[in-house]
Each structure stands twice: as C-alpha cells, then as structure tokens.
Structure 1
C-alpha cells in the first residue's frame, strides 16, 4: 500500500475560494434578479430609481429595448408627466 501524502495547502485554498466565489456569485445573481423583477413590476419603484439612480433606470430601459419591450420608457414618462400635472392642479 502506498503511503498517503497530504495535498498541498494551495489546493485547499483554491477549492475553498472556488466554493466561496460560487456562493457569492449565486447571491449576486439572486439580488440582481430580484431588483430587475421589482423594477419590471412596480412603476412606483421605477420612479424612485429614476429620482435617485437615473443611470440604473436607463440600463433597465436599454435591456428592455433589446429584449423587445420598447414602449416602457414612453409609458413611464407619460404616466409620470400626467401624475405631475394632476398634483399641480390640486
């Protein structure tokens, strides 16, 4: 029987790092999907994002235009414009 030699420490480090990276990537993917889902379903959240992070909303609209929903930007702008006009009248 051959004597067992311990694996070098570098391999343990690489395996541990790979597992950590995989878990971190899965968490980041879940968070980004959750943010996209909320932006896709909640117009008030899109307005909040527009007021605080307009570049993020612009990327959301660009992705939507690539996928095929090209009217989301105009729909939101029209709704926000009409709601702003209603608040001015009141």
Structure 2
C-alpha cells in the first residue's frame, strides 16, 4: 500500500503565495475597472477628479485620446465653463 506523505512546506508556501497574489490582482483589476467605468459615465465625477485628483483624470483623458481619438477633455471643459463650475 502507498504511504501518504504530507506536502512539503515549500509547496504549501508557494501555493499560498500564488493564491494571495491572484486575489490581490483580481481586487486591483476590479477597482481599476470600477474607477474607469465611473469616469467614463459620469461627468460630475470627472469634475470631482479634476478638482481633487487631476493626475488620474489626465491619465484617463490621455488614454481616451490615444486609443479612441476621443475629445472628452474639450467637451468637459466647454460644459464646465458654460455651467460656471470652473
């Protein structure tokens, strides 16, 4: 009959580390997608980011301009200026 041997400590630690990294990356991807979705759908949220976290909004605008050729920055600036918010 075959004897059962316990997993080596190294395999157990590597498995736990891999699982932890997978969970952390999944959470990071979910948070990033949530932020992108909110930036992509809500102009008021973009205004909040413009006033408080301009570097995040700048990255959002740059990706949109390079990948999709979008003019979201100009549209947002025009709307905010007409509404007197900036």
> Do the structures match in fold with TM over 0.5?
yes
Unaligned runs of 5+ in 1: none
Structure 1: distance between partners of 2:39 and 2:66: 16
CA RMSD in angstroms comes to 1.4
Structure 1, residues 32-74: CA drift from partner, whole Å, max 9, x if none?
Answer: 1011000000000000000000000000001101221421000
Structure 1: distance between partners of 2:72 and 2:78: 10
Q: Partner of 1:63 in structure 2?
A: 63
Size of the alignment, in residue pairs?
Answer: 85
Structure 2: distance between partners of 1:70 and 1:42: 16
Runs of 4+ in structure 1 over 2 Å off: 1-7
Structure 1: distance between partners of 2:43 and 2:61: 13
Q: Partner of 1:77 in structure 2?
A: 77
Q: Partner of 2:15 in structure 1?
A: 15
Unaligned runs of 5+ in 2: none
Q: Partner of 1:38 in structure 2?
A: 38
Instruction: Tell me the secondary structure at the aligned position of residue 27 of structure 1.
Output: helix
Shift of 1:7: 2.4
Taking structure 2 as the reference length, the TM-score comes to 0.89
Shift of 1:23: 1.1
